[in-house]
Structure 1
Amino acid sequence: MTEPTVLTVILNYRTPDLTVRACEAALREMQDLPGEVIVVDNASDDGSVERLQQEAAARGWDRDGRLRIVESGRNGGFGAGMNFGMRAGLSDGSAPDFYYLLNSDAWPDPGCILKLRDFLVATPKAGFAASAVRGEDHDPHQTAFRFPTAAGEFEAAARTGPISRLLRNRIVPMPLPRSRIRVDWASGASLMIRREVIEATGGFDETFFLYFEETDLCRRAALVGWETWYLPDAGVIHIGSASTGMRRWNRMPQYWFDSRLHYFLKNHGRAYTVWTTLALIAGTLLWRLRQLIRPKPSSDPDGFLTDLIAHAARRALGRTFAAPAPAAALPEDSR
C-alpha cells in the first residue's frame, strides 16, 4: 500500500525570516514522509520572494523538488493564500492525500506532522487534525474552540464569573484539552486537512480576509459529516500575529468586523446575526458598568463598542462590506 502523501502549505506575507525558519522545521519533519512543502507569497512586495528563493538555493532546498515558492499575485488574506497553495498540489500535478497548513511563524515539534497524518489515516471520520500550540516561552495558546453563538458572544464580552459559569458550555475557547478530543473548530496555525474535505467544501471561503475562515470551513465540513480533532501530543511553537500585528492593534480593523458579520449571516441568517450582535453589545455594556463600579483594566481595543455599532448600522442600512485594506496599508505582520 502506498504511503499517504502530505503537502505542507506555508503562507508568507512580509515575514521572510520567520518563513525560512518554518520551512527548515517543516522540511525536517517531512524528511521521511512522501510529499512536499510549498510556500505561497501573498503579494508581499517587499523582496520576500527573492529572499526566500536565495535561502532555498543556498540551503539546497530547491534541488530535489521538495520545496517550491509560488506567488499568489494578490493579498487576498489567509484563506485565499492557503487555497492557492492547496490548488497548486504536488509538483507532479497530482493532489496529495493530506494538506498540512502551517503558519510562517510556527515550527512543528519532532513527530508533529507524522502524528497528525497518522491520526487522520487511522480515524476515517476525522477531516481535520489540529496540534497543540505554545509560545516561545512555552506558554500554551488557546487553539481548540466551540462554534460561536449568541450566548458565547455575550459571555466573552461580559467577562463576569457568574455568567461564565452559567454559560460554560457556550464559551468559545475550550479548556485546554489534555487528551485527544473532538472539537468544533481549531486554529489554522498548525492544521492537517484530509483532501476529501477540501473536495467536498471547496476550501476556504475567500470572502473572509482574515479571521473566522477556519471556523466557517470546519462548520461546513461538519455539516457533511467530517469531524475536527485536537491532538495535544502533537505540538508547534508559534509566535502569533507575526503578519497581522494584532498584538500592537490600537483599534480593531474593519476586516475583523466584516468577517464576523459574514460568518453569522452566512451560517445563521439575518435574525440570529442581529441577536448575536445585540448580545455582544449588551455584554460589553455590562463590562463597562462593572468598570465604573469597580475599576478594571480594559482589554478591548480603542473604540471597539462604537466601531461595532457603527459597522452593524452601516450593514443594516444596506452598505456593502468595505474592501480589505491594501497590502501596503495592513499592519506589518498575515497572521
Structure 2
Amino acid sequence: MKKIAVVILSWNARSLLEQYLPSVVAHTPSELADIVLADNGSTDSSVAYALSLGVKVLELPQNYGFARGYNEAIKQLKHEYILLLNNDVRVTPGWLEPLFAFMEQHPEVVSVQPKIRWDREPERYEYAGAEGGYMDWLGYPFCRGRIFDTLEQDQGQYGSEPKRVFWTTGAAMLVRRENYVVEGGLDERFFAHQEEIDLCWRWNSAGHQLFVVPQSEVFHYGGASLSAENPHKTFLNFRNNLLMLRKNLPDSRRWWVLTLRLFLDLLAALVFVLRRKPKDAMAVFKAWNAFRQTSAAQRTEGRVQSYQRLYRHSILLRYHLFGEKTFDKLKP
C-alpha cells in the first residue's frame, strides 16, 4: 500500500475539478500517493470525470459537508498519511515530497501544510492558510501572511525553513491517519469552516506539534464552494468559532472569554449594519442562538499548556488600533 492518500472532497463541482484536478494528477508521484476523490453525493458528472483521469473514487451517499464527508472517507482508507486537499487547489511540481519528508523525519509532528498563495492573485498569500495558522487568546485566527482581510505579497519575507504553527489549513494539510482517528477526526457539528482549527487545537492540547513547510507551495482559489459574501458563511464562522472556544478553553478562562466575545460579536453585528449588510448582522445573532442550543457534551478538557500557545495579545487591537496589518509587524 502507498504511504499517502491525497483526498479531495467535492460536491457537484465538475468545473472546478476540470480546472484543478489535472495539476494534482500531473504533479503527485504515483509511487508515493493515491489520489482519491471523495464525492459528497454529486448529481453532476464529477465522478465520471475523475475516473477518466485515473483517480480513485469514494462515492458518499449524500452531501455530508466538509467535516463528516472527510470523516466518512477516511474511515474507508488505510494509508499511513492522509492529505486533505480542497477541490480548488492547484499544486506545483514537487509539492508533496517536502511535506512527506518532514513528517517522516519528525514523528512528534502530526500535521504539516504547504505555503499557500492565492490563485486569483498569485503574488499574494491566500486567506485560508497562507504560511501557517495562529490564534489569539480571544479565538480570532490569523496567518503568517494574512491578518483578517489583509493579504500580504509573498516576497520571501518569511524564509523557507519549516516553522511551528498553531493550526494547519484544511485546504491542504497532511496528517497522520492514526492521530486523526484517535482524536476523533473533524467535529461533524461544524459542517464546514474552522473544523480543522478545532482539530489542531485538540492536537496541541495532546502535546503534538504542527508545522508549515514553505518548500512546498500550492495555489488556492478560495471561496469556490461558499462565497465570502454569503451570509451563511458568516453564520458558520461565528457559530463554529464559539463552539471551538467552548470545547477547548481551560475552565478557568472559558466563561470570561466567551462573555467578552459576546460583546465583540455584537460590535461586529453593528459594523455589518453600518456597512449595509443586514443579512450578515442577522447571521451573527443566529450564530449565537445556534451556539446556545448546541450541546456542550463534546467539550474537551482544554489545557493551560495549549492556551499558552495562543497569541497573547488581541489581534483585533493590534490590527485596528495599532495598525499592525502584517505578521512581521505584530507585537511579540
TM-score, normalising length from structure 1? 0.72
Deviation at 1:199, TM superposition (A): 3.3
Query: Hey, what does 1:34 align to over in structure 2?
Result: 32
* 1:278–1:119 CA distance, 2 compared to 1 (3 A): same
The correspondence for 1:118, drawn from 87, 101, 120, is 101
* 1:42–1:284 CA distance, 2 compared to 1 (3 A): same
Q: Does residue 308 in structure 1 map to residue 284 in structure 2? A: yes
Contact 1:53–1:69 (8 Å) recurs in 2: no
* 1:68–1:314 CA distance, 2 compared to 1 (3 A): closer
Deviation at 1:225, TM superposition (A): 2.7
User: Residues of 2 paired with 1:223 and 1:320: CA distance?
Assistant: 22
Amino acid at match of 2:56: R
Amino acid at match of 2:87: S
* 1:279–1:24 CA distance, 2 compared to 1 (3 A): same
Q: Deviations 1:250-279 (Å, cap 9, x if unpaired)?
A: 565543343223212222278855534443
User: Residues of 2 paired with 1:18 and 1:200: CA distance?
Assistant: 32
User: Residues of 2 paired with 1:53 and 1:230: CA distance?
Assistant: 34
Contact 2:134–2:166 (8 Å) recurs in 1: yes
* 1:127–1:315 CA distance, 2 compared to 1 (3 A): closer
Deviation at 1:76, TM superposition (A): 2.0
* Aligned positions of 1:1-335 closer than 5 A: 5-45=3-43, 47=44, 50-54=45-49, 56-57=51-52, 59=53, 61=54, 67-89=55-77, 95-136=78-119, 137-138=121-122, 139-142=124-127, 143=129, 144-150=132-138, 153=140, 172-176=141-145, 177-178=158-159, 179-246=161-228, 248-250=229-231, 252-268=233-249, 272=253, 274-283=255-264, 302-309=278-285, 311-312=287-288, 315-316=291-292, 319-320=293-294
More displaced stretch, 301-310 vs 27-36: 301-310
Residue aligned with 1:207, SS: helix
User: Residues of 2 paired with 1:312 and 1:297: CA distance?
Assistant: 17
Q: Deviations 1:288-330 (Å, cap 9, x if unpaired)?
A: 99x8xxxx997795454554345435654xx348xxxxxxxxx
Contact 1:264–1:272 (8 Å) recurs in 2: no
Contact 2:135–2:166 (8 Å) recurs in 1: yes
Contact 2:17–2:46 (8 Å) recurs in 1: no
CA RMSD in angstroms, aligned pairs only: 3.1
User: Residues of 2 paired with 1:181 and 1:98: CA distance?
Assistant: 20
* 1:299–1:43 CA distance, 2 compared to 1 (3 A): farther
User: Residues of 2 paired with 1:231 and 1:320: CA distance?
Assistant: 36
User: Residues of 2 paired with 1:288 and 1:266: CA distance?
Assistant: 24
User: Residues of 1 paired with 2:126 and 2:192: CA distance?
Assistant: 19
Query: Hey, what does 1:331 align to over in structure 2?
Result: none
* 1:287–1:103 CA distance, 2 compared to 1 (3 A): closer
* 1:74–1:221 CA distance, 2 compared to 1 (3 A): same
TM-score, normalising length from structure 2? 0.72
Residue aligned with 1:185, SS: coil
* 1:133–1:312 CA distance, 2 compared to 1 (3 A): same
More displaced stretch, 141-150 vs 205-214: 141-150
**Larger RCO, structures 1/2 (Cα 8 Å, 6+ apart):** 1
Residue aligned with 2:56, SS: strand
Contact 1:98–1:193 (8 Å) recurs in 2: yes
* 1:199–1:284 CA distance, 2 compared to 1 (3 A): closer
Q: Deviations 1:229-263 (Å, cap 9, x if unpaired)?
A: 011221111100111122x3256554334322321
Identity %: 22
User: Residues of 2 paired with 1:276 and 1:211: CA distance?
Assistant: 21
Amino acid at match of 1:83: N
Unmatched 5+ stretches in structure 1: 62-66, 90-94, 154-171, 322-335
User: Residues of 1 paired with 2:277 and 2:252: CA distance?
Assistant: 27
Contact 1:39–1:85 (8 Å) recurs in 2: no
Contact 1:133–1:141 (8 Å) recurs in 2: yes
Unmatched 5+ stretches in structure 2: 146-157, 296-332
